[in-house]
Structure 1
């Protein structure tokens, strides 16, 4: 059996208005599709007018101001519908979609769909290098941001925090993890289901740590790849 990393695959990333995936609005979105050899076959990018002010702290990260989004962005409902349609087609064709900290991006998209009365997609199969890395390298010290992990695995990440660059780097990181860890070279349905369990375990462990060390009432959600 050949690994999913030797078949066509895609990556998905959003830049948004904020950290809370239930309230954040899409500002930019990118989907990158590569072929069996990992060569980029297609890149799709969107700029949305989120319909709300983009906070300065968010604009400082991704570089899109409220004025720029209003002048150049397309309506948020149109962007959310188009992104959802592309992802749905990928999933229907059993092409895995790779997303770093996938529960953030897919929850933002799900709430945008709900906000605008659009159809919900069923995101599977998804591969999340963040969840996978925490499982196969449990005792790694230091940050597990996309930038930090790309540096560790020698992956070039120019223009970090732009959705297209982050999406492609996420895909390269997933490939590197699969090359190193045989536990990730399994059938896509099996890997997707495994990540659901790993995400729950990781959230429970982190919640227990926080309750012991800092906040007895801490709650860490473990739903993946979409928060309810």
Structure 2
């Protein structure tokens, strides 16, 4: 007889966070759109806020093709980047202060880029953001040998989570939160968000080490340049 999995305490309410940006370099690229929301235990969004920034640099065509925001649109309708960075940082800080875990897919990307943006504009960055829940790290840990890609679109489909507008910050954030809730119901995760946060630090490091070994083996990476496994903010 299989015993039912006891729901962890953090399942009641979670924050969700997602950025769409000018590229994938956390040190140089900029925020274009951001979404922060709160989901209840059923995955219903009960609070939300969106931002559109003028990043201050041209948005490459490749990035625009992903999230649909052009340089012209961002310049015409976006708010000054320093205001958006300050408000997004403050909103996350408030949710952490309330004890809510923040769910973000590939969290080390979003939190690292936000940290560099804060430094760029002289805004106090989040200090050791916690607790963070990263469904990408968790899914790789609890279902390590499942074949196939681990993009948000693929993982959401695997856990029967609807994602109608992939790469739109609000749609991605809500889907990520629902994937986290699905993971909590399917697998025996740590009971508290802080315990899960601590576990993910180790999982992320192990996953980076494993991927580094694979890339070195196939000649895609130099052994002297390992992947950064720091989480949720990269070194």
Task: Summarize deviations over 1:147-200 as a string: whole Å, max 9, x none.
Answer: 001111111101110000000000000111111100x24211111011000000
Residue of 160, 163, 172 corresponding to 1:166: 172
Distance 1:144 1:2 in 2: 24
State whether residues 4 and 185 of structure 1, in contact with CA within 8 Å, keep that contact through their aligned partners in structure 2. no
1:124 aligns with 2:130: yes
Residue of 40, 43, 60 corresponding to 1:38: 43
Distance 2:158 2:40 in 1: 25
Structure 1 gaps of 5+ residues are none
Which residue number corresponds to residue 94 of structure 2?
89
Alignment of 1:56-71 (within 5 A): 56-71=61-76
State whether residues 10 and 193 of structure 2, in contact with CA within 8 Å, keep that contact through their aligned partners in structure 1. no
Moved over 2 A (4+): 35-39
The count of residues paired between Structure 1 and Structure 2 equals 227
Distance 1:54 1:70 in 2: 10
Report the TM-score when normalising by structure 1: 0.96
Which residue number corresponds to residue 210 of structure 2?
205
Note the C-alpha offset of 1:213. Answer: 1.8
Distance 1:76 1:110 in 2: 13
Which residue number corresponds to residue 184 of structure 2?
178
State whether residues 162 and 175 of structure 2, in contact with CA within 8 Å, keep that contact through their aligned partners in structure 1. yes
Residue of 152, 162, 165 corresponding to 2:158: 152
Report the TM-score when normalising by structure 2: 0.93
1:53 aligns with 2:58: yes
1:221 aligns with 2:212: no
Structure 2 gaps of 5+ residues are 1-5
Which residue number corresponds to residue 142 of structure 1?
148
Q: 3-state DSSP class of the match of 2:203?
A: helix
Task: Summarize deviations over 1:185-223 as a string: whole Å, max 9, x none.
Answer: 421111101100000000001101111122351521100
Q: 3-state DSSP class of the match of 1:12?
A: strand
Which residue number corresponds to residue 195 of structure 1?
200
Distance 1:62 1:223 in 2: 27
